[in-house]
Chain A
Amino acid sequence: MRQILNLVLITLCLGCAIDFSRIAPGYTEAFKSINNLLFGYEDNIISAELIENIPYASMIITIGKGPQGLMILESKNYQDNIWVSADKVYLKERNGRIIQTRGLNNNIDELIYTVDFSDLRNIDTTKTYIYFKSFSNPTLNNLVLEAKFSIKETKLVRLVNQNLYLTLVEEKVSSKVLGWNFVNEYWIDENSYVWKSSQKISPKLPRVFIEVTKKPS
């Protein structure tokens, strides 16, 4: 009987030895998922050519260790740009700063501030600015945040489709209530346009990385 069993097994293995996807498929998928969660997804290659072929303003966004995604400009209202992704995530951005989101697991409802950030290059680095930020899912209204800015070095930054000399502006933000401290980074050109940024938008979301690939006109 042992021979029969072995024969069946050998026949099976020989007949199908090439198809490794059938060996522990559950474990393989689990390994992939854990790998993605721990070390991030392989970036889809969003090429300069692809961006050129899209007639709209666009930007590349990465949320935490997630895959890269392309967002296109859906509408523009004075200083506010609304960007949309293929999976229907909406971001409202003003002067490079995300002020409202929809379609994420946890969303920013509103970011209120009274300062004009359109000229980050000349921001008062001695002042402490106050923001009021509201979130949904779960609801948290008017979380008070304090922010201070510092202007760092200017260097050549390699973007997907161009190289630009950009200045790094750091924004140190803290919430006394939550004990939440973080630093946002904005790379701006000589007109204070934010081409690239790294922003922490909610305590419940990973960091968001943005790179503008085609600027709204």
Chain B
Amino acid sequence: MKRIFFFSYILLLSSNTFTNESINEYFSNPVGHSPSNYGITGVIEIPNARFMDEASILWNFSGSYPNEYTSVTASPFSWMEASYRYTEIKNENYGPANYSGNQSLKDKGFDIKIGLLKEGNKIPALAIGLRDVAGTGLFSSEYIVATKRIQNLDVTFGLGWGMLGTDGGVSSPLKFIDDSFAKRNSSGFGFGGEFSYKDWFSGKASYLGALEYDLRKMGLRLKLEYDTTNPDQRRAVNKVDSRFNIGLTYHFNNNLKFSTSFERGNQFRIGFNLRGNFLKDTINKPIPKNVVRLNDEQKKRILDNNEIFYRSLNRSLREEDIYIQAASLKEDSIDLAIASSRFYSFTRAAGRSTRIAAALSPENIKKINVHVMNGDFEISTITINKNEFDSSDSFEGSNSELLFKSTIYSNSHKPLYKDADFIPEISFPEFEWSMAPALKHQIGGPEGFYLGQLFWKTDTSLKLKRNLMFYASFGLNIYDTFNDFNNPSQSTIPKVRSDIQDYLKEGKNNIQRFQFQYFSSPLNDTFLRFDFGLMEEMFAGIGGELLYRPFKSISSYGFSLHKVKQRGYKQRFSLKEYETVTGHFYHYADLPFGINSKVSIGKYLAGDKGITLDLSRRFKSGFTLGVFATKTDLSASEFGEGSFNKGFYISIPTQMFYTNFRTGNIAFGLQPLTKDGGAMLIQHNALFSILGDSNLNSIVRDWSYFLK
């Protein structure tokens, strides 16, 4: 057998193949890699060494008997995929009938695959991966796979351990490194949540092999694999008639694929998946509006009466949904403070403002200083040479030259609106509101896989004066299934989050937030926020946050401290007895490749002390993928199932789905379990969320939007 694989490998290495990948994209049903049953790119049961393009998200459903998989897979890098999966095991019950009725078993799992080598003319792509890495261990597997393209054929072979190694055939291949690789200790089915790294790549292994052939004109990928998972030996199924699985995937378009397979010689499977790539915003947005330049006579009149200039500026900026906050027309420069809730990138808003100011300003103006505001904070100032802007805008100069010749700095403690010739009159209090239907979910509980609520959400805000805000949010129930809850918290530490079932069940019509906030920037690059009121659905209190964001540094530092009291389950104005002081020190850093880190050290809501590490990758489009983990001084038994707090989140800029610019994100986060350990207070308007994307690093990153 080894001899066959050895020679196969030599054959693959020696084959000089040429593939023109770009032509694939011109087929009406472009055939590409597709997910395995488990969600990560692969064949049917076994993985391959292919990856989705970076910044992709894939939602995959794959149904058969006894296992039905639903997963979300993300690719933070072109060489990495991570997947979170629910498996419905139809031939096992979730628990005793009095606990979970007749609900079938649901198993949570987390998979990861990392590319080791890119495919070359003579070498295959190589990847290493872990399946069900911190779950119950039911599907625990590790693998090293190589995939090589030969014309329209993808050939995969490799080694699998754990479930993928059930077939055997290779006796502990890594034993030569250390004796600990000789034996796999896992009994297979535990409580989950821990990384059983001592078992990784240990014990017997199996050779994996698969072929995938593309019929590109028909949009089809045919698949054949040798299934080494041997479910009959693991007693997952009664009978296996064939170790070979066959399947095909129909590529409807780049985003939607349908698949079917015939597995174990006796069972059909069907599936489909939706994939989105968020590396770039592919929906065209409106270009900057043309501004009619003033004629000589109008420019002369401006010199005599600045009000004409301010009014023209105000009107033109409003057409772009940019709101002037203050302006000063000086001898040879203009200072202009702007705010906009339309543009996701501050740089784009600054660029469009510069374009308008340049078109309307008199000849003597040489510099335009755009003071960019977010809320009432002045977050940065961009000084542009007007002639350089005009030449870059007419393609005589480049965007990079413009950046090189511009000055970008921060003067947050002296905002322009405090000392400017023109300040639009604002009548306080300013009242804003919006309302929309919204959803709440509880997924994977014993009472039912999905319990949810459709409710009508109303958000209001009252600006009493600059920097002083009052927020109120209300929820009115429309329909819910929360009465099915019957699994009260068994936590032995203060139940700061695990009473979620009571909050959801009793607080269907609730006051989500009723809070005063005050903002200030007493020193340059130093920002403050004070909070008072019903701060979130479970806690009310008083406190604040301090952020020091050196404008030109890649690091920021913060501190928050709150005295909080737990809210009643009905979420009106009543409070429970539990109260605590919670606070954290924060360190934020912009790392290479768009990676952002946030380290929080302090005391959590349940009184436990520890550290939270949050790592995310933000792409230029604003699409963000992140993971976090919290370890506190609670023991694993005090914490309960899961051993420590962890989760992931995905954030997609809303504007990627629209034909116009928009601020805001569609965020999706998941914590496998709602636990009391490592629970943090939800802080609305966290200072880093207002200011984190406004430092020099972020403006330079987005500079290509300045002229667009």
Which residues in A have some Cβ–Cβ distance to B below 8 Å?
1, 5, 8-9, 12, 16, 22-27, 29-30, 32-33, 36-37, 86-88, 105, 135, 138-140, 143, 177-180, 202-204
Contact = CB atoms under 8 A, between A and B. Distances in A.
Contact of A33 (B435, B476, B572, B659): B659
B474 A138 contact: no
A16 B23 contact: no
Nearest to B218: A179
A105 B437 CA distance: 36
B26 A140 contact: yes
Contacts of B435: 22-24
B651 interface: no
B392 interface: no
Interface in B10-56: 20, 22-23, 25-28
A179 B28 contact: yes
A5 B27 contact: no
Contacts of A27: 436-437
Contacts of A86: 287, 290
Contacts of B191: none
Interface in B381-416: none
Nearest to A66: B284
B658 A33 contact: yes
Contacts of B701: none
B511 A12 contact: no
A139 B22 contact: yes
Nearest to A177: B23
A29 B27 contact: no
B250 to A, nearest CB: 15
Contact of A203 (B28, B434, B437, B657): B28
A86 B109 CA distance: 52
B217 interface: yes
A81 B635 CA distance: 76
Interface of B: 20, 22-23, 25-28, 217, 282-283, 287, 290, 433-437, 458, 460, 472, 474, 476, 509, 511, 572-573, 654, 657-660, 662, 664
Contacts of B26: 135, 138, 140, 143, 178, 180, 202-204
A179 to B, nearest CB: 4
B658 A30 contact: yes
B182 to A, nearest CB: 49
- 4 residue pairs, one from A and one from B, having the closest CB atoms: A24-B436, A179-B217, A138-B22, A203-B26
A140 B22 contact: yes
Given A1-B573, A5-B572, A29 B23 contact: no
State the majority secondary structure of interface residues on A.
Answer: mixed
Contact of B474 (A1, A5, A24): A5
Given A5-B511, A23-B436, A33-B657, A12 B460 contact: yes
B474 A178 contact: no
A12 B458 contact: yes
A16 B434 CA distance: 10
Contact of B662 (A5, A8, A24, A29): A29
Given A203-B28, A204-B26, A29 B436 contact: no
Nearest to A204: B26
Given A9-B474, A26-B436, A204-B25, 17 more contacts: A5-B509, A8-B472, A22-B435, A23-B436, A24-B435, A24-B436, A24-B437, A29-B662, A30-B657, A37-B659, A138-B25, A140-B22, A143-B26, A178-B27, A202-B26, A203-B26, A203-B28
A1 B460 CA distance: 19
Given A5-B474, A180-B28, A16 B433 contact: yes
6 contacts: A5-B572, A12-B458, A27-B437, A29-B662, A140-B20, A179-B217
Given A9-B476, A24-B435, A24-B436, A29 B217 contact: no
A33 B661 CA distance: 12
Contacts of A87: 287
A8 B474 contact: yes
Contacts of A23: 434-436
Nearest to A175: B26
A105 B25 CA distance: 13
Nearest to A22: B434
